[in-house]
Amino acid sequence: AQSVSQHNHHVILSEAASLELGCNYSYGGTVNLFWYVQYPGQHLQLLLKYFSGDPLVKGIKGFEAEFIKSKFSFNLRKPSVQWSDTAEYFCAVTKGQGNLIFGKGTKLSVKP
């Protein structure tokens, strides 16, 4: 079945540590890729998106993600996390005009 996999269920980091959250998808062909963030008690907000062009995309709050087509991956990175980055992060994919399919999410806890 076509799916989106996020490898880590819960990641705990100290402030200033570097972050990488994995995301793999199983769709072939052209895809649109998204990372959403959900801060505690809030709704999902778009962090960044990739449709085409430069595979390294920059989003808000210092986040970036790299699309590696050969690996079917779209990993999220941040060089130095802050306590305010504590949230749940969702990778999502659409294929063509298809619906958005979400991964199960990764909770990030940043210790001050």
Partner 1 sequence: EAQVTQNPRYLITVTGKKLTVTCSQNMNHEYMSWYRQDPGLGLRQIYYSMNVEVTDKGDVPEGYKVSRKEKRNFPLILESPSPNQTSLYFCASSSAVGNQPQHFGDGTRLSIL
Residues 108/11, Cβ–Cβ less than 8 Å: yes
79/98 with CB nearer partner 1? 98
For the record, the structure tokens of 74 come out as: 């779209």
Q: How far apart are CA 50 and CA 40, in angstroms?
A: 25
> How far is Cα 37 from Cα 47, in angstroms, rounded to an integer?
6
Nearer to partner 1, 32 or 86 (CB): 32
Which of the residues 19 through 58 are near partner 1 (CB under 8 A)? 32, 34, 42-46, 49, 51
Residues 83-112 that bind partner 1 (CB under 8 A): 90, 94, 96-105
Q: In angstroms, give the least distance from the CB of 103 to partner 1.
A: 6
Close Cβ partners of 38 (under 8 Å, ≥ 6 residues apart): 44, 45, 87, 88, 89, 90, 105
9 counts as binding partner 1 under rule CB under 8 A = yes
**Binding residues for partner 1, per CB under 8 A?**
9, 32, 34, 42-46, 49, 51, 90, 94, 96-105
